[in-house]
Amino acid sequence: TVSRFDYDENEGNIDVSSRKEVVKIPPAAQGGGVPDGMTIDADGNLWVTLGEGGAVAKYDAETGEELERIKLPVKRPTACTFGGEDLQELYITTREETGESSSASAGHLLVAKLDKV
């Protein structure tokens, strides 16, 4: 689950009592994953790395609806941010993996080129 909280700019405090669920993500076994790193695009959409789910998903930050999913060649993405000349690339860090199911791309920085952000 990804939650939102009210923030008091004058005091610099987060109001923990204002918690509101923004996105409900199912477990990896049900096609979701563990929300880890995230970023927001120019349209206010939330991009969330899905640890154990091997993907980054784009959500409408108001409704929680999944709008897009980028499958990755790794199981454990950890964080994401926009970059490139026009911020049309999504940079995704990944965690190193061990064992039979590990990927050669694990522990590396991946780049997804996007059509429009």
Binding region: 36
Catalytic site residue 115?
Answer: no
Binding-site annotation: residue ranges for a divalent metal cation: 36
Measured distance CA(66)–CA(17) in Å, rounded: 26
Give the number of residues written for the chain.
117
Catalytic, out of 36, 41, 86, 115? 36
Tokens of 30: 């049900």
Residue 29, phi then psi, degrees to nearest 5: -65, -20
Degrees, nearest 5: CA angle 21-22-26? 85
**Angle formed at CA 63 by CA 59 and CA 64, multiple of 5 degrees:** 40
Residues with catalytic roles: 36
